[in-house]
Structure 1
Amino acid sequence: MKEQLGFDFGVAQPQRLTKVSPARLSTFDDCPRRYRLSYLDRPSPQRTGPWAHSTLGAVVHNALRALFDLPVGKRTPQRAMALVGEHWKDAGFADEEQAARYRARAKGWVAEYVEDHDVSHDPVGLERWVSAPVSTSGPAPSMIIEGRADRIDQRGGELVVVDYKTGRRPPDEHEARASQALAMYAVASARTLRLPCTKVELHHLPTGTVAAAEHTSETLRRHLVRAEQTAGDLRLATDTLDAGGDRDELFPARPERRCAWCDFRPSCAAGREYGPPVQPWDLLAP
Structure 2
Amino acid sequence: MGSAQLEMPGMPRRLFPATPSKLAAFADCPRRYRHGYVDRPTPPKGPAWAHNSVGSGVHAALRSWWELPVPKRTPAAARQLLYSVWSSAGFRDAEQADRWRARAAGWLTDYVAGLDPTDEPVGTERQVAATTERLALSGRVDRIDQRGDELVVVDYKTGRAVCTDDEARGSPALAAYVLGVRRTLRRPCNRVELHHLPSGTVAAFEHTDRSLANHVRRAEDIAADIATATAAVDAGEDPDVAFPAVPGRQCSWCDFRPSCPTGQAATPPRETWSFLPEDDAPAP
Q: Same fold (TM over 0.5)?
A: yes
2:77 corresponds to which of 69, 76, 79: 79
5+ residue gaps, structure 2: 1-10, 279-284
Residues 166 and 285, structure 1, Cα contact 8 Å, conserved in 2? no
1:240 aligns with 2:238: no
Name the counterpart of 2:155. Answer: 163
How far does the alpha carbon of each residue in 1:24-81 deviate from its partner, in whole angstroms, 9 at most, with x for none? 1111000000000111111111211111111110000000000011122211100000
| Paired AA for residue 241 in structure 1 | V
Q: Kindly tell me: are residues 280 and 238 of structure 1, through their superposed partners in 2, closer, same or farther at Cα, counting changes over 3 Å?
A: same
How far does the alpha carbon of each residue in 1:180-222 deviate from its partner, in whole angstroms, 9 at most, with x for none? 1100100111100000111000011111111111111101110
Q: Distance in 2 between matches of 1:123 and 1:116?
A: 15
**Aligned-residue offset at 1:120:** 2.4
Secondary structure of the equivalent of 1:127? strand
Aligned pairs for 1:144-159 within 5 A: 144-159=136-151
Cα RMSD after superposing both structures: 1.1
- For these two proteins, the number of residue pairs brought into alignment is 268
**Aligned-residue offset at 1:157:** 1.8
Name the counterpart of 2:250. Answer: 258
Name the counterpart of 2:218. Answer: 226
Q: Distance in 1 between matches of 2:141 and 2:74?
A: 23
1:109 corresponds to which of 107, 110, 122: 107
How far does the alpha carbon of each residue in 1:200-258 deviate from its partner, in whole angstroms, 9 at most, with x for none? 00011111111111111101110111011111111221222233221011100000111
| Paired AA for residue 171 in structure 2 | S
5+ residue gaps, structure 1: 1-12, 135-140
Name the counterpart of 1:121. Answer: 119
Q: After the TM superposition, which parts of structure 1 deviate over 6 Å for at least 4 consecutive aligned residues?
A: none
Secondary structure of the equivalent of 1:223? helix
Secondary structure of the equivalent of 2:136? strand
Name the counterpart of 2:172. Answer: 180
1:210 aligns with 2:196: no
Q: Distance in 2 between matches of 1:210 and 1:104?
A: 22
